[in-house]
Structure 1
Amino acid sequence: MKILYFAWLRTTIGKPLEEITPPETVKTVKDLLDWLPSLGENYSIVQEKSDLLRIAINQEYANLDQEIKQGDEIALFPPVTGG
């Protein structure tokens, strides 16, 4: 599974992307957000700020209860605005 981090997530976590293999208990986006802090202290922001994050699975917006699987590309980013 490829995880992409954008904006302040990239800065805090310290990398733009990574390949991970979460345990089989991680079945939804929410499960993933709850599990990521186990990778290290800098990942705790994902759980702490989960209400602010937007998530895309394979370049399609997703919600917290959306199922994920190995091979998916998960993008985590803050809300964006434009004008």
Structure 2
Amino acid sequence: MARLTLVYFAWVREAIGRDEEQVERPAEDVTIRDFIATLADQGGAYADAFARSDRLRAALDQRFTPLDSPIGEAKELAIFPPVTGG
């Protein structure tokens, strides 16, 4: 069984209560947005953290990636709020 490391940053991490976790990697054609919806369906802290995917950004294997991209064979999915400069 292939595993996917989920890494959470900023208020996503605070809402879920952990920095990262290991999950079974979904089918290659599942998009990041659809996977986030699956996480939200778990309820509780996940539902709160992922209620609005439009407020989230993602990176697959440390490369910024649009939420409509398939997860493919990635080993790591990072989920975080928009990054601001300053």
Q: TM-score, normalised by structure 2?
A: 0.81
User: Conserved in 2, the CA contact under 8 Å of 1:28 and 1:68?
Assistant: yes
Aligned-pair Cα RMSD in Å:
2.1
Counterpart secondary structure, 1:12: helix
Moved over 6 A (4+): none
| Identity, % of aligned positions | 39
- Indicate whether 1:38 and 2:41 are aligned: yes
- Are 1:81 and 2:84 an aligned pair? yes
| Letter of the structure 1 residue corresponding to residue 9 of structure 2 | F
TM-score scaled by length of structure 1: 0.83
SS in 2 for 1:39: coil
Q: Matches of residues 1-83 of structure 1 in structure 2 within 5 Å?
A: 1-24=4-27, 27-69=30-72, 71-83=74-86
Q: What residue ranges of structure 1 are gaps of 5+ in the alignment?
A: none
Consecutive unaligned residues of structure 2, counting only runs of 5 or more, are: none
- Count residues with an aligned counterpart: 83
